[in-house]
Structure 1
Amino acid sequence: MRKLGLLFLGICSQIVFAQANRFVYQVTMKPDSTDRNTIKTEIANLDIAAGNSIFYAENRLKRDSIMGRMRQTGNFNFDRTQMQNLRSNMDFIIEKDYKTGKKLYKARILRDQYAYEEDRPMDWKILPETVKIGDYKTQKAETQFGGRTWYAWFTSEVPFQDGPYKFSGLPGLIVKVEDSKGDYSFDLKESKKISEVASFDQRGSTIPLKRTAFEKQQEQFRKDPAAAVAVLSSSGGSFRIQMDPNQRKQMEDRQKEQIKKNNNPIELK
């Protein structure tokens, strides 16, 4: 009986280990510094399994799934209103490797997929203040990152030294983190077991580069999105064939409007 009991416990531990954990955060943002009354909210997930995690916007996953089905079926008829509603202010994916400590940031600029490894340390100062958030007893911590002062509340009751976005390195899961100006806030709303972490449809190869090079590329696009679209539409391939002048004009106008309304990024420097 003892052997059977140990075997049962071993099987149970394997099942638990094989499962993935999903932590669901509500993200509150003020992306337009000229209109602080406009507040955006989104749901984002932190999936953890086998010593790795991935952080992403739920809308990004939904859009990716729809686009994947369209490519598989060859049917590119879709509800434009639905796709517009699934646009995200967090159009990126962040992967963390617990063993190496590496954080990989992935994002697209138009059709190109880029990835860089975060090269800035996140040095935390743990503060004495404690507070109960939901079911968790949490402790406060502070760090300077990306040109902002951040306050986090973490719990040692959840044995993952991780959190939303690039935040990690505290002795427990980050339940809440916000910047001192109140521009961005991540609040844990739910946790659950899942069979596997989310996966995203990979189109083409990912271009690896340094963080500073990515930021330069991104800044060039922000300054002149029309030029980037023009280069893309004349670069050959199916994209050029499918995009007529009216479509290109609409895309340029949409990009300009999005950039105009998103002048308060989560990282200021």
Structure 2
Amino acid sequence: MKQLLAIFCICTLSICSAAQEKPGKNIIDQASLRCYYAFSKKKPTDLKPYRVDTMVLDIGSELSRFYDPARLGRDSLIAAKMKNTDASIIKSISIFKGENSKDLSGMVGTVSSNSAEGESVQVFKSKKSNQLKVLDYVGMGQRFLYLDSLDKMSWKVLPDTATIASYPCQKASLNFRGRDYIAWFTTEVPVNDGPWKFSGLPGLIVKIEDTEALFSFQLVGLKQLSTPQLIQLEEKSSLKCTRAEFEKQKLKQGAGMQVNFNAGDMIIAEIPGQVDYTPIEIE
């Protein structure tokens, strides 16, 4: 039983760190501007996107954070389920993963986070260091962190103009890690930032998509925050790796995680199957 409780504690710490924000030492900036983007994904053979999620870009004076609040909320349900369970009333813990993964959706009280629903990635851009940090996790609470540089984007600003999301915009093009992109930015919002890893234009990126229209980000809302939003980064529980190492792990990502607790019996299980992962970066 002691060994099972040890496993339980390890899983709890890992998942809680991935899903929850912590006050104090990991506060690195405060955001005064919040941008909402519709992020749509499409398969090469499809006519319409198979998924659209609302992503958030919080922009501070030195740092920005790009994330999916709905996905983080679902992940937090699992973290809360495990954190708030009194270990003294646990009679048994069963863990199913890999080839032994199990679907708990038919059991009353199951909470789950499906890897195919929403984006678990968080991107932190630093103006001061000209670097970005990418946090994402694969499988049962295993979170990875890798560093990247903001110097790798060579934009070509074009003369074309258009009005997008009520903002006058100018066109720009970019080749980035195997894909060609068309972006529209506005100088009416004079911040050098945009969705995901994109930045480096003389204004906020309002829309950007690759020329195959597989990945598209479009601004759907912008809010000046009356109360600054803390931008927090917790690195201690993350496994540091390279981008190439992370992509290898992502290709093996499971379908998600479920937790069920009933009559003293806790079951922690990977959802059977794997995610059909299409990387944005192919070089």
Tell me what 1:74 maps to: 85
In structure 2, do the counterparts of structure 1 residues 198 and 40 end up closer, same or farther at CA, with 3 Å as the change threshold? farther
In structure 2, do the counterparts of structure 1 residues 201 and 128 end up closer, same or farther at CA, with 3 Å as the change threshold? closer
* Contact 1:138–1:155 (Cα < 8 Å) also in 2: yes
Tell me what 2:142 maps to: 112
Deviations 1:167-225 (A, max 9, x none): 00000100000110011111101111333436679696112222222223334x25xx6
Tell me what 1:20 maps to: 32
In structure 2, do the counterparts of structure 1 residues 172 and 78 end up closer, same or farther at CA, with 3 Å as the change threshold? farther
**What CA distance in whole angstroms lies between the structure 2 residues aligned with 1:78 and 1:204?**
31
Q: Normalized against structure 2, the TM-score is what?
A: 0.68
* Contact 2:36–2:220 (Cα < 8 Å) also in 1: yes
RMSD across aligned C-alpha pairs, in angstroms? Answer: 3.3
* Contact 1:162–1:173 (Cα < 8 Å) also in 2: yes
Tell me what 2:237 maps to: 205
Secondary structure at the counterpart of residue 144 of structure 2:
strand
**Structure 2 letter corresponding to 1:22:** R
**What CA distance in whole angstroms lies between the structure 2 residues aligned with 1:54 and 1:173?**
14
Query: Structure 1 residue 18: deviation in Å?
Result: 6.5
**Structure 2 letter corresponding to 1:210:** T
**What CA distance in whole angstroms lies between the structure 1 residues aligned with 2:233 and 2:133?**
17
Q: Which structure 2 residue ranges, 5 or more long, are not aligned?
A: 1-28, 91-107, 258-264
Secondary structure at the counterpart of residue 229 of structure 2:
coil
Query: Structure 1 residue 161: deviation in Å?
Result: 0.4
Tell me what 1:254 maps to: 273
* Contact 2:77–2:111 (Cα < 8 Å) also in 1: no
Q: How many residues align?
A: 224
Correspondence for 1:52 among 43, 51, 63:
63
**What CA distance in whole angstroms lies between the structure 2 residues aligned with 1:95 and 1:78?**
35
Correspondence for 2:176 among 122, 129, 145:
145
Tell me what 1:266 maps to: 280
Tell me what 2:216 maps to: 185
Query: Structure 1 residue 63: deviation in Å?
Result: 1.6
Tell me what 1:215 maps to: 247
Matching of residue 93 in structure 1 with residue 122 in structure 2: yes
**Structure 1 letter corresponding to 2:223:** K
Tell me what 1:103 maps to: 132
Greater relative CO (CA pairs within 8 A, separation 6+): 2
Q: Normalized against structure 1, the TM-score is what?
A: 0.72
**What CA distance in whole angstroms lies between the structure 2 residues aligned with 1:57 and 1:99?**
24
* Contact 1:64–1:201 (Cα < 8 Å) also in 2: no
Higher strand share: 2
In structure 2, do the counterparts of structure 1 residues 160 and 70 end up closer, same or farther at CA, with 3 Å as the change threshold? same
**What CA distance in whole angstroms lies between the structure 2 residues aligned with 1:29 and 1:78?**
31
**What CA distance in whole angstroms lies between the structure 2 residues aligned with 1:80 and 1:207?**
25
* Contact 1:61–1:200 (Cα < 8 Å) also in 2: no
**Structure 2 letter corresponding to 1:96:** K
**Structure 2 letter corresponding to 1:115:** L
Higher helix share: 1
**What CA distance in whole angstroms lies between the structure 1 residues aligned with 2:67 and 2:132?**
13
In structure 2, do the counterparts of structure 1 residues 79 and 105 end up closer, same or farther at CA, with 3 Å as the change threshold? same
Q: Which moved more, 1:206-215 or 1:72-81?
A: 72-81
**Structure 1 letter corresponding to 2:127:** Y
Deviations 1:77-100 (A, max 9, x none): 85547x559921x22100001111
In structure 2, do the counterparts of structure 1 residues 205 and 191 end up closer, same or farther at CA, with 3 Å as the change threshold? same
**What CA distance in whole angstroms lies between the structure 1 residues aligned with 2:81 and 2:209?**
37
**What CA distance in whole angstroms lies between the structure 2 residues aligned with 1:66 and 1:200?**
19
**What CA distance in whole angstroms lies between the structure 2 residues aligned with 1:214 and 1:254?**
19
Matching of residue 159 in structure 1 with residue 173 in structure 2: no
Deviations 1:23-46 (A, max 9, x none): 00011111x445454521110000
**Structure 2 letter corresponding to 1:114:** F
